[in-house]
Structure formats: structure tokens, C-alpha cells
């Protein structure tokens, strides 16, 4: 390790604050929370940090390790100390792209304890972090009482599992001077190259309804358009229908993958097996965060039309003459409901 000098000389208390002689404990005699391990397709990585002495101040010493459960190697390491401010009580994490986020507390005799962060992307020079950014500048210092020197114990940087890009950082701060009166900050950030949320599914329309359909017959197909509105390829595992509904040939079928920004068309027919309202779903299983997606389906099964009487007979007539109409003896009977045909297309 390039720098293993204990913060404050003994890993203890020396962080100054504005407006008080009370200094804060660095806990520099131990690694900080947490030893964050990432599983990539071909290897594992871990990131971890601790507070060290750097000149006359305290700085964050950080490491990225490869194969932490096997033949451990240090891929990169660095000390983050861009100025004479004291930085300590840090936490690190790594997103799916290998971007590293580092959050920490910062204080000096001219500022109250603040919450700041930095980070790096894989294309940055090994062992370096980018420019520091502020999450919150405290407006109070901590002092008084038996434990006025304890700060944090600890802070936490985590990557959001919903997109594997968003970093969430939790740390404490003071609004006014005192002890046991701290507040908790929960902040988030993401690197520009990992701001997308992966694949995302949008369906239009979100439900399908068929009108009256004769039991035992098949309706005209209706369509649902599936669009990948995310930033990564959508992997489709299956598209299934249930109830009296069946997939039909589509002019733009959905395959096993769908590129970002592209769409495909799912077509479905209705073949009622019984009288009355029939329901089902289109169920799409994929790798979007809201999988599986469902499209509710409904339609109504009705009996066929009945003609009464079933036949009509006229007496013999001279060729070229016209008989009387038999309209009063013939009627079209629609059972239960008027047949109005299907709605939609």
C-alpha cells in the first residue's frame, strides 16, 4: 500500500470543525463500511477505503481489488486529498459499468462538517478520482457531552438494484451546534454514461376488448404494440395468452430481443368457448424491471342467430306473377342480445 500512515497519527481524533475546539474521531484504525464486492461476467471486484494522514490533514485512501475471494490483486489505489480540508468516514460502491462512487464527510477549522462525493469512470487514469462535488454543507458543528467526538459510525454508499446505475449515499450532518442533534442526509447521483435504466417496456393499448362473438367462431385479430423505451436491448423470454384468446400471425412479430427504441406487434384473436363475458391476459416475460407485463383481454360469447320459422312454402303460382309476402310469418330472433358484430379492429 502506498499510504498506510494512520490518520491523526494513531487513527483517532483530530478532525477540526468551525467554531469549536472539539475535534472528531476518524476511526482511522480500521477499514470503513463497506467492503463492496461486484460480480462481473468474467471476474469479481471489491472497493474499500479508510482514513489516512496526508500531510497535515486527513484524507481518504481507497482501493479497487480484483478477485477478492481468490488470488487478490490491487487493480488501483489512490489517496483523495484535493486540498487541505479533512476528509474521512467514507464509503464506496461500483456500478454495472465499473464506475466508482466515493462519498465522505469533510470538515476544517473554517467550515462545519459537510457531505461531499467524488468518483471515477473506467477511462480515467488509474488511481485518480474526478472533481469533488458537494451534497450538503453543514450549518452546525458537533461538540459537548461524552461522545461529542464521534461522527457517523458509519456512512453508506449503495448502488440501486433497480437500474444498477444510481448511487445512494447516507451520511450525517448538523443544522445547529450541539450533540445528539444530528440529521441524516440521503442523496443520489449517477454517472452520465450509466444514466439509463436498461430496457423498458411500453404497451399500447394497455387492454383489449372484443364485442359479441358467436361461440365456436374466431374473431378478427386485435393488436398490441410493444415498444422498448429504455436504453438497452430488451431480452424477451416468452409471450403467452390465456383464456379463450390465442396469438395470431403478426406483420411485425416480437422475437427474442428488441433493440432500444424499436417496437414489435402482438396480435391476438378471440374464440369464445362459452356464453357470457370471457377474460384472459397477454403475459410478456422479459428482463425489464417491471416484468412480467400483462395486457387484460375481454370479450363476450353469444349464441348464433335463430330464424323462425325455419322454412316457408308458397302455393303454386303462374310463372311471371308475384305471390303475397310472408313477412308476418318469418322473423329473425336474436337470443339474449342484439348481434351488433365486433367493435374495434
Question: What is the predicted pLDDT for the residue at 157?
Answer: 98
> How many of the other CB atoms lie within 10 Å of CB of 272?
24
Q: Which helix (H) or strand (E) holds 119?
A: strand 111-120
Closest to 291 (Cα-Cα) out of 236, 213, 221: 236
Pair 284, 226: CB distance under 8 Å: yes
Question: What is the predicted pLDDT for the residue at 3?
Answer: 63
Percent of the chain at pLDDT exceeding 90 = 73
Pair 27, 38: CB distance under 8 Å: no
Residues in CB range of 232: below 8 A, 6 or more apart: 196, 198, 199, 260
Q: 245 has which bridge partners?
A: 270
Overall residue count recorded for the chain in this entry: 345
Q: Quote the DSSP letter at residue 6.
A: B
Chain segment 215-253, per-residue pLDDT in tens: 999 999 999 999 998 777 889 999 999 999 999 999 999
All cell numbers assigned to 144: 459537548
Question: What is the predicted pLDDT for the residue at 311?
Answer: 77
Rg (CA), the chain: 35
Question: What is the predicted pLDDT for the residue at 196?
Answer: 59
All cell numbers assigned to 146: 461524552
Chain segment 301-321, per-residue pLDDT in tens: 999 877 677 677 878 888 888
Show pLDDT as tens, one digit a residue, over the chain (345 residues).
Answer: 566 799 999 999 999 999 999 999 999 999 999 999 998 888 899 999 999 999 999 999 999 999 998 899 999 999 999 999 999 999 999 999 999 999 999 999 999 999 999 999 999 999 999 999 999 999 999 999 888 999 988 999 999 887 888 899 999 999 999 999 999 999 999 888 786 557 889 999 999 999 999 999 999 999 999 999 877 788 999 999 999 999 999 999 999 999 888 999 999 999 999 999 999 999 999 988 788 999 999 999 999 877 677 677 878 888 888 888 765 443 444 444 444 444 444
| DSSP one-letter string for 297-324 | EEEEEEPPPEEESS--------TT--PP
> How many of the other CB atoms lie within 10 Å of CB of 40?
11
Domains of the chain: 7-194 (no CATH), 201-302 (2.60.40.10)
Amino acid at each position: 500500500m502506498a499510504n498506510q500512515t494512520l490518520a491523526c497519527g494513531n487513527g483517532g481524533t483530530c478532525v477540526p470543525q468551525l467554531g469549536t475546539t472539539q475535534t472528531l474521531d476518524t476511526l482511522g484504525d480500521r477499514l470503513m463500511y463497506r467492503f463492496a464486492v461486484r460480480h462481473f461476467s468474467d471476474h469479481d471486484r471489491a472497493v474499500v477505503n479508510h482514513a489516512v494522514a496526508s500531510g497535515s490533514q486527513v484524507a481518504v485512501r481507497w482501493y479497487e481489488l480484483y478477485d477478492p475471494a481468490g488470488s487478490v490483486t490491487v487493480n488501483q489505489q489512490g489517496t483523495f486529498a484535493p486540498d487541505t480540508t479533512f476528509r474521512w468516514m467514507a464509503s464506496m460502491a461500483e456500478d454495472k459499468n465499473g464506475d466508482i462512487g466515493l462519498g465522505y464527510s469533510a470538515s476544517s477549522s473554517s467550515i462545519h462538517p459537510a457531505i461531499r462525493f467524488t468518483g471515477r469512470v473506467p477511462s480515467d487514469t488509474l488511481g485518480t478520482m474526478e472533481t469533488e462535488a458537494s451534497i450538503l454543507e453543514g450549518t452546525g458543528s458537533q461538540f459537548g457531552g461524552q461522545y461529542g467526538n464521534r461522527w457517523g459510525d458509519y456512512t453508506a454508499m449503495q448502488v440501486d438494484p433497480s437500474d444498477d446505475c444510481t448511487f445512494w449515499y447516507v451520511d450525517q450532518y448538523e443544522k445547529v451546534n450541539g450533540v445528539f442533534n444530528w440529521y441524516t442526509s440521503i442523496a443520489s447521483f449517477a454517472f452520465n454514461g450509466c444514466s439509463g435504466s436498461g430496457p423498458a417496456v411500453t404497451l399500447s393499448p394497455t387492454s383489449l376488448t372484443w364485442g359479441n362473438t358467436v361461440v365456436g367462431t374466431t374473431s378478427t385479430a386485435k393488436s398490441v404494440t410493444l415498444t422498448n423505451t429504455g436504453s438497452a436491448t430488451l431480452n424477451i423470454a416468452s409471450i403467452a395468452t390465456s383464456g379463450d384468446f390465442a396469438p395470431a400471425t403478426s406483420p411485425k412479430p416480437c422475437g427474442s430481443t428488441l433493440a432500444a427504441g424499436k417496437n414489435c406487434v402482438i396480435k391476438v384473436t378471440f374464440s369464445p368457448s362459452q356464453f357470457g363475458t370471457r377474460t384472459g391476459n397477454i403475459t410478456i416475460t422479459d428482463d425489464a424491471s417491471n416484468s412480467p407485463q400483462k395486457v387484460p383481454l375481454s370479450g363476450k360469447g353469444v349464441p348464433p342467430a335463430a330464424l323462425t320459422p325455419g322454412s316457408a312454402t308458397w302455393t303454386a303460382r303462374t310463372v311471371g306473377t308475384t305471390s303475397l309476402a310472408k313477412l308476418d310469418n318469418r322473423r329473425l330472433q336474436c337470443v339474449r342480445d342484439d348481434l351488433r358484430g365486433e367493435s374495434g379492429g
